[in-house]
Copies of this chain bind each other. A is one copy, B any other.
Amino acid sequence: MPEASQPTIFANDHGVIQRYRNYLPVTDNTPIVSLSEGSTPLIHAPRLSARVGKGCTVLVKYEGLNPTGSFKDRGMTMAMSKARENGSKAVICASTGNTSAAAAAYATRAGMDCVVLLPAGKISQGKLAQAFVYGAKVVAIDGNFDRALELVREIGEMDEFEIVNSINPYRIEGQKTASFEIIDDLGDAPHIHVLPVGNAGNITAYWKGYREYHAEGKSTRLPKMVGFQAAGSAPIFYNQVVTAPETVATAIRIGNPASWEAANEALNTSGGKIDIVTDAEILEAQGWLAANEGIFVEPASAASIAGLFKCCAKPCEGCPVNAIEPESTIVCTVTGHGLKDIDTALSARSFRTIDAKDDRSDILGKLGY
């Protein structure tokens, strides 16, 4: 089965490398590993726009509609294609979340092994469900998470292995395509771009994408980049490493971001800002977005929405959201689908059924009709 180990691109595949190959470090010799990621919807959010006011238009970039349910797929198509080009036989990472899910899916697609290295005590079947289902080899070591990362780096030095943790530079290349899509959809860059910040790879990637497209004349402006960290996990905001980061938004529970410096550059150069939101604000925003715009996202994703609410409710000095002109366009990235973490969504709030008799009038009465 030669097809099995060397998947070919079907002429109509629509992954981000096919769509934006001129902006990415690939050649005709790069074997493209894709699951048709990207081209996610930019959804107009009328109620969110109304909350911001000033005639602004708020749109949500719904990255949960990537194949494995998060934005990580954009970076993984690049990382995996380059790993294959370089002759690697396997990829390796230490991650309990969206990265391991994406790595496992794309490695399978590439006909490569995916090794996920984790501390023995930190392996939850639920969190790792996708990695398992996509066929990753999950190795439980008797060291801690830092030691797992060290071992990933050590093993990644071998020719057979490629590291796909965030230190892999190709991931940011892939992720920057989200900015291209936004400009292609809007016809220009937004005035403000709001996103959750954990490892800070995404804010770095978006800013890179915006600058590259701007340099090509594809947009007339650059957006102000506005990032939100979870209050218990906010090293960039506090400007110091957080040794024991804690937040319900597990996807941004990072104490020492890999792209810290690049994120600061994006924030400063764009005239943006970084701020924090509490877990309560994150969960409130998650529920609000689902129940008001029909968009269900994982908790980390809701940090961008919670942040926008915070800026509008009580603008701080120099807040770019407060300072924007009327009729401005604001894009919020929501990074992962709510289906990624149903348990948190359910446990965060109490849902009640309306109990009724087997009777039309009783039902209508209880519904208030």
Looking at A194-202, A262-270, A286-294, the stretch in contact with chain B turns out to be: A286-294
Residues of B within 8 A of A49 (CB): 3
A363 touches B294 (CB 8 A): no
Question: B-facing mask of A19-40, CB < 8 A → 1, else 0?
Answer: 0000000000000000110010
Residues of B within 8 A of A69 (CB): 337, 339
Residues of B within 8 A of A10 (CB): 44, 57, 59
Selected contact of A363 from candidates B125, B139, B296, CB within 8 Å: B139
Whether A358 contacts B185 in the complex (CB less than 8 A), given A10-B44, A115-B367, A125-B351, comes out as no
Tell yes or no: A74 within 8 A of B by CB: no
Tell yes or no: A130 within 8 A of B by CB: yes
B46 touches A3 (CB 8 A): yes
Residues of B within 8 A of A216 (CB): none
Whether A351 contacts B132 in the complex (CB less than 8 A), given A35-B295, A151-B363, comes out as yes
Residues of B within 8 A of A293 (CB): 108-109
Whether A36 contacts B13 in the complex (CB less than 8 A), given A50-B4, A105-B294, comes out as no
Tell yes or no: A43 within 8 A of B by CB: yes
Residues of B within 8 A of A46 (CB): 3-4, 6-8
Residues of B within 8 A of A137 (CB): 354, 367
B126 touches A90 (CB 8 A): no
Question: B-facing mask of A125-158, CB < 8 A → 1, else 0?
Answer: 1101110111101111111000100010011001
B44 touches A134 (CB 8 A): no
Most buried by B among A35, A339, A351, A367: A339
Q: How far is the CA of A39 from the CA of B43 in the complex (A)?
A: 14
Residues of B within 8 A of A353 (CB): 120, 123, 138-140
**Closest beta carbon of chain B to A37's beta carbon, Å:** 8
Residues of B within 8 A of A130 (CB): 296, 338-339
A186 touches B351 (CB 8 A): no
Interface size class of A (residues with CB under 8 A): 35 or more
B295 touches A67 (CB 8 A): yes
Complex: chain B residue closest to A57, CB-CB? B10
B8 touches A290 (CB 8 A): no
Question: B-facing mask of A180-193, CB < 8 A → 1, else 0?
Answer: 00000110000000
A133 touches B338 (CB 8 A): yes
Most buried by B among A120, A151, A296: A296
Looking at A225-233, A253-261, A318-326, A340-348, the stretch in contact with chain B turns out to be: A340-348
Tell yes or no: A42 within 8 A of B by CB: yes
Contacts A/B (CB < 8 Å), 21 sampled: A3-B46, A3-B50, A4-B50, A9-B44, A13-B41, A62-B67, A65-B66, A67-B295, A109-B294, A128-B351, A133-B291, A133-B338, A133-B345, A134-B291, A138-B351, A139-B354, A141-B358, A154-B360, A158-B369, A339-B339, A342-B342
Given contacts A62-B67, A90-B367, list 5 more A-B pairs with CB under 8 A.
A6-B46, A69-B339, A125-B346, A133-B338, A134-B290
